[in-house]
Amino acid sequence: MAAPRILSGIKPTGRPHLGNYYGMMQPGIEWQDRGEAFYFIADYHAFTTVHDPAALREHTRSVALDFLACGLDPEKAVLFRQSDVPEVTELAWLLTCLTPMPMLENCHAYKDHLAKGKVPSHGLFAYPVLMAADILLYNSNIVPVGRDQKQHVEVTRDLAEKANRLFGPIFTVPQPSIVAEVATVIGLDGQKMSKSYNNTIGLFEEEKVLRKKIMSIVTDSEPVEAAKDPATSSIVALYKLCADASAVALMEDQFRAGGLGYGEFKKRLFEALWEKFAPFRARRAELAADPSVLDAILADGAARARAIALPTMERVRKAMGIR
Ligand code: ADP
Ligand code: TRP
């Protein structure tokens, strides 16, 4: 079988956090050795919420740097900016015309927006269709994402199957890939870690800020002596992501035994995270020192992405009777 095509995107709405890293960036980086990987910075998607042009440009570059610093290898994987291949918006339009309204009315981002009493933009409503266009434009087989994006990949599969029924086999039907042990990384307040909840731990926080954030993780008020349940603790859940198995087993035993307070466990979590991201911090500082390095990587990525996207669009237009 030919090597699979892997594709995923991340929105430049702020600096990436541990949920983004363990849910999508790290699995994406692992996939780069197993197939043809394409990763992009989804600036068109971020424009659903970021309407400050300088911030959008800045975040787009800084998320790309973060991804590279964490181990994305531009020799192996293609890293590009979504808007460098604007044909994706053309495909999104064509797919929009095949999308039943109820399918989008059922999507959670839109429903959450309504539940909060906000008025969603048409862009936010149609967001999953643009995501389907991203995936189908590059003939992707596998889409590594966090669990919250599974529904969007299902929308993509439905649209691809419908288009293939109507116009012949023009699209590859993709599959999501979700790391079961990670699934959803929990934030400082015990909810899903998300930029929209203000409960994140960033990958590149300053030492003092990181320490303070970890110390602020919400816990119950069990006294130091009491036995504690490791299974329900966010400290243990986060520690499992960044510490080795023996250190995790020790922390779990000490939770059950009682006699140590949450402050001690938080300190250990801080140290593990600080150490885990130390090599990434060093690499990021190197990459950031010369902006032309990132420019060249993104230009090369755009050219490699276009080489796939343009023939797809030709095929799709022809099949659909456009031009
Ligand atoms: P946010 O919710 O902070 O805005 P994004 O929507 O930009 O994050 O998510 C980018 C990628 O990171 C997606 O694949 C998403 O599934 C993943 N992701 C985001 N938050 C988490 C989390 N708490 N746990 C696991 N994966 C996550
Ligand atoms: N919607 C994704 C998110 O919020 C980002 C994204 C955009 C994406 N297009 C994609 C992910 C295509 C995978 C494939 O995180």
Task: Give the pLDDT of the chain (323 residues) as one tens digit per residue.
Answer: 689 999 999 999 999 999 999 999 999 999 999 999 999 999 999 999 999 999 999 999 999 999 999 999 999 999 999 999 999 999 999 999 999 999 999 999 999 999 999 999 999 999 999 999 999 999 999 999 988 899 999 999 999 999 999 999 999 999 999 987 777 899 999 999 998 889 999 999 999 999 999 999 999 988 999 999 999 999 999 999 999 999 999 999 999 999 999 999 999 999 999 999 999 999 999 999 999 999 999 999 999 999 999 999 999 999 999 98
Residues 229 and 159 in one domain: no
Please give the distance, rounded to the nearest whole angstrom, from the Cα atom of residue 15 to the centre of ligand 1: 12
What total number of domains does the chain contain? 2
Give residue 234's identity as a one-letter amino acid code.
Answer: S
CATH of the domain at 101: 3.40.50.620
Token digits of residue 219:
């816990």
Both 244 and 164 in one domain: the answer is no
Structural domain boundaries, residue 213: 205-276
284 domain residue, yes or no: no
241 alpha carbon – ligand 1 mean position (Å): 15
Q: Judge if 217 and 104 occupy the same domain.
A: no
Is residue 160 located within the same domain as residue 230? Answer: no
Which residues, 6+ apart, have CB-to-CB distance to 188 below 8 Å? 199, 200, 201, 213, 216, 217, 218, 234
Q: Same structural domain for residues 14 and 146?
A: yes
Within-domain flag for 193: no
Q: Which of 82, 149, 156 to mutate to test the pocket of ligand 2 (most atoms within 8 A of CB)?
A: 149
> Are both 23 and 83 inside the same structural domain?
yes
Distance 146 CA to ligand 1 centre (A): 6
Whether residue 9 sits in one domain with residue 145: yes
CA of 153 to the centre of ligand 2 (A): 9
Nearest CA residue ID for atom 7, ligand 1? 11
Q: Are 52 and 1 in contact (CB under 8 A)?
A: no
In this prediction, residue 1 carries a pLDDT of 66
Tokens 């500082």, residue located: 285
Residues 19 and 132 reside in one and the same domain: yes
Probe ligand 2: pick from 5, 6, 8, 141, max atoms within 8 Å of CB? Answer: 8
Please say whether the beta carbons of 4 and 173 come within 8 A. no
Task: Please report whether residue 270 resides in a domain.
Answer: yes
What CATH number does the domain containing 222 carry? Answer: 1.10.240.10
Q: Are residues 22 and 154 in the same domain?
A: yes
Q: Are residues 242 and 146 in the same domain?
A: no
Task: Check if the beta carbon of residue 207 is closer than 8 Å to that of residue 274.
Answer: yes
Choose the residue to mutate in 22, 112, 148, 153 for probing ligand 1, maximizing ligand atoms within 8 Å of C-beta. Answer: 148
Q: With respect to residue 73, please indicate whether it lies within any of the assigned structural domains.
A: yes
